[in-house]
């Protein structure tokens, strides 16, 4: 489970080195939007030099440039020469990406950022090698000619992504939160995303990592509830009961499954 996926500009040596001190579950070294066109080669060279030096326990990913861009081929050549890179974050994903997995042997994390990508999300998710999925509000709003804030708050988009991810058994991660100084706003969006069923959050500032890790980990209260449910339900099952009450509330097979999943996520 990736509670926090931190974007790191790949042309910034200081920020790349700082990743060793940040407790994110995934680092996404960005070769796309965070890097100006005239810095792309420098960014690849910098990563090629620094990645072997870093002692990172988190998953190491690269956000490549869009498939249709002139930088895409350069990104793939770079990726195929670097064993430390474990997955590719694919911006503006709209098609079956199996070819990319076969080309690189790297797992894929596509981003839904266009109208076509949202419409064809199942084609994207069914691709060979897909690890999870996330989305980008600003690019999607631009593609839809919509207001960014309206798209950011869309329940439809979140439910579409969550539903598709769960059907195909991959990890759904919510979008980035742009206002890096508003940590309370970020916390609320994390809580909302968790309530929809997302497993984590893409983040753009180290201070957001701690909050994402906290929100997307089971709370002490949730763990205690899960243990009580499992214990009481398993006792009742032996007696032939399929429904009981725990803390004054009905508990049956679905609550038992939820409790088991909570404990499993706490251990993972």
Burial 70-89 (b: 16+ CB within 10 A, else e): ebbebbbebbeeeeebebbb
pLDDT digits (tens, 9 = 90+) for 126-138: 999 999 999 999 9
Number of neighbouring beta carbons within 10 Å of residue 240: 6
What pLDDT sits at residue 227? 74
Pairing of β 87-90 and β 107-112: parallel
Structure tokens at 86: 């474990």
What pLDDT sits at residue 260? 75
Q: Are 165 and 133 in contact (CB under 8 A)?
A: yes
* Residue stretches of the chain with pLDDT short of 50: none
Q: Are 5 and 173 in contact (CB under 8 A)?
A: yes
pLDDT digits (tens, 9 = 90+) for 199-228: 999 999 999 999 999 999 876 777 766 677
Q: What is the dihedral of CA 124, 127, 133, 139, to 10 degrees?
A: -30
What pLDDT sits at residue 97? 98
Q: Are 157 and 140 in contact (CB under 8 A)?
A: yes
What pLDDT sits at residue 219? 67
What pLDDT sits at residue 267? 56
The helix/strand/coil state of 169 is: coil
What pLDDT sits at residue 226? 67
């Amino acid at each position: 489970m990736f509670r926090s996926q931190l974007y790191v500009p790949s042309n910034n040596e200081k920020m790349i080195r700082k990743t060793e001190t940040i407790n994110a579950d995934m680092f996404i070294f960005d070769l796309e939007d965070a890097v100006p066109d005239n810095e792309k080669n420098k960014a690849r060279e910098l990563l090629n030099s620094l990645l072997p030096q870093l002692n990172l326990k988190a998953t190491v990913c690269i956000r490549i440039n869009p498939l249709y861009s002139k930088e895409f081929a350069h990104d793939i050549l770079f990726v195929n020469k670097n064993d430390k890179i474990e997955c590719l974050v694919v911006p503006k994903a709209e098609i079956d990406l199996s070819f990319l997995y076969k080309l690189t042997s790297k797992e894929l994390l596509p981003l839904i950022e266009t109208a076509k990508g949202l419409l064809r999300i199942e084609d994207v998710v069914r691709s060979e090698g897909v690890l999870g999925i996330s989305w980008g509000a600003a690019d999607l709003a631009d593609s839809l000619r919509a207001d960014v804030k309206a798209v950011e708050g869309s329940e439809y988009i979140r439910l579409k992504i969550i539903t598709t991810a769960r059907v195909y058994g991959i990890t759904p991660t919510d979008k980035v939160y742009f206002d890096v100084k508003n940590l309370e706003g970020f916390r609320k969006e994390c809580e909302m995303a968790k309530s929809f069923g997302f497993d984590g959050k893409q983040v753009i500032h180290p201070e957001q990592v701690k909050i994402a890790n906290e929100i997307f980990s089971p709370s002490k209260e949730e763990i205690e509830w899960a243990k009580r449910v499992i214990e009481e339900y398993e006792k009742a099952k032996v007696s032939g009961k399929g429904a009981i009450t725990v803390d004054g509330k009905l508990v049956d097979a679905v609550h038992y499954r939820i409790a088991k999943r909570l404990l499993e996520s706490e251990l993972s």
